[in-house]
Amino acid sequence: MKITTNKLRMITAILSTAALTASIGCSGGGKLILTSPQHYTTVTADGWALSVLRYRPKQINKEKYPVILCHGLSYNSQFWDLDKDVSLARFLCNAGYDVWVPSLRGAGWSTKPPISRLRQLFLRGNLYTTGGVFTSAGKGLLKINWTVDDHIKYDVPAIIDFVCQETKSKKVHWIGHSLGGMILIGYLHTTPQEKRIASFVALAVPVFAIHPLSKALEQLTQGRVAIEISNAMISTNLPALIGMIAGKALPTPIDMLFYNPSNVDDDIIHRLNAWATEDISPGQLGQLIDMLKKGKFTSIDGKIDYTAGLGQMKIPAMFCVGMLDNLATVCAVKRLYNQWGTKKKRFLLFGKVNGYICDYGHDDIIIGRYARREVFPAILQWLNALRAERTGAIPWLTKN
């Protein structure tokens, strides 16, 4: 049976209220303050349904290009809106930007293998990440594996096409966290004629791995088989399961890969584990572990070096990294910044050394207790500066 886009949207809208209400009621993490973003569904060229949330401001300003927020590996769209105090989606929406938040394939209410939905439902008791069963389209429903290359080739263009079509805008800003930024870089490398990206904000984006690897990353590469078994049998990571059982995240050495525990409230960690964490496909995991070994981001077959064309990039870009980021290390992000071709670029290091309240980690650059005060305004300033330059209000400020 063929499911049209309009039918997909209607089904998603119906499921959204029930699933979200159920997830709030069973999570134990406190009431999530929401203003009900609009729910949409679009379908990729290879038949996967992608869920997209829209945080629409009260009044659309045509001078402000729409903003796309793209989550990273093992997360879904809820990463950007765990609570009003750590919601970049609502922060930018309140500033007048039309904000669009997709879930990539295998995440949220987008197409994902049925086994993932069942595992998340019965092991984690969470209907948010298991919702949208009927939004899965065609052959995508039967797939159990996908790669980062699939995100680049299919998900990114589908999201850009959809947002531009719905908003009638010629350009969009892309803000990507970790993998959410990597896939845009890969897309721009393989689609150099793309003119619809107004700017790129790279939040903790690792396209390089500086050797020797940290102890934690070295353990990650060596533990690939164990991680794959855990992923297939239980969940993407044990902290997610422990977070659901214990009610609060229990600090473990692996936590330091993802956030600085002293910079994230316990309730936010619990919500992250309960609502935003997804399974990692074997293809994603293998490709990213290969990146750690090679030291750079390539296609899964090794034929495409996504970092090769960085010097030709002309899109304005801002690169942000936390002082304690153990995944996208400061040196790796600085290297990305240095190789980016355009002069319209900025590099921001969030740490005490630069006068910030604390040293930020990988995830807490968005979900940290001080992110709304220190990181979010920097992103807004970047977007506003580009708009002011475009409208002739002020010249571009090259000083970081």
Mean pLDDT confidence for 219-244: 55
244 vs 188, residue with greater confidence: 188
DSSP H/E element including 39: strand 38-43
pLDDT tens readout for residues 53-93:
999 999 999 999 999 999 999 899 999 999 999 999 999 99
Least Cα distance to 128 among 215, 244, 213, 247 occurs for 244
What 3-state DSSP class applies to 3? coil
Which of 54-68, 161-175, 266-280, 311-325 has the weakest average pLDDT? Answer: 266-280
At 318, list the tokens: 């801002």
Helices 179-190 and 156-167, axial angle in degrees (round to 10): 90
Q: What percent of the chain has pLDDT over 90?
A: 58
374 vs 118, residue with greater confidence: 374
pLDDT tens readout for residues 9-59:
433 333 333 333 333 333 333 333 346 899 999 999 998 999 999 999 999
pLDDT at 154: 97
Where does the pLDDT of residue 275 fall: very low under 50, low under 70, confident under 90, or very high at 90 and above?
confident
Give DSSP secondary structure letters for 234-281.
T-S-HHHHHHHHHSSPPP-TTHHHH--GGGS-HHHHHHIIIIIB-PPP
Where does the pLDDT of residue 142 fall: very low under 50, low under 70, confident under 90, or very high at 90 and above?
low
Would you tell me which CATH number, out of the four given (3.30.470.20, 3.50.50.60, 1.10.10.10, 3.40.50.1820), belongs to the domain 5-390?
Answer: 3.40.50.1820
Please check the confidence at residue 240 and state whether its pLDDT lies above 90: no
pLDDT at 231: 56
- Show me where the domains of the chain are located: 5-390
Where does the pLDDT of residue 118 fall: very low under 50, low under 70, confident under 90, or very high at 90 and above?
low
Distance CA 301, CA 365 (A): 32
Distance CA 74, CA 259 (A): 14
pLDDT at 222: 73
Where does the pLDDT of residue 254 fall: very low under 50, low under 70, confident under 90, or very high at 90 and above?
low
270 vs 143, residue with greater confidence: 270
Give DSSP secondary structure letters for 110-128.
S---HHHHHHHHHHH--ST
pLDDT at 14: 34
User: Scanning the structure block, which residue is given the tokens 């003119």?
Assistant: 195
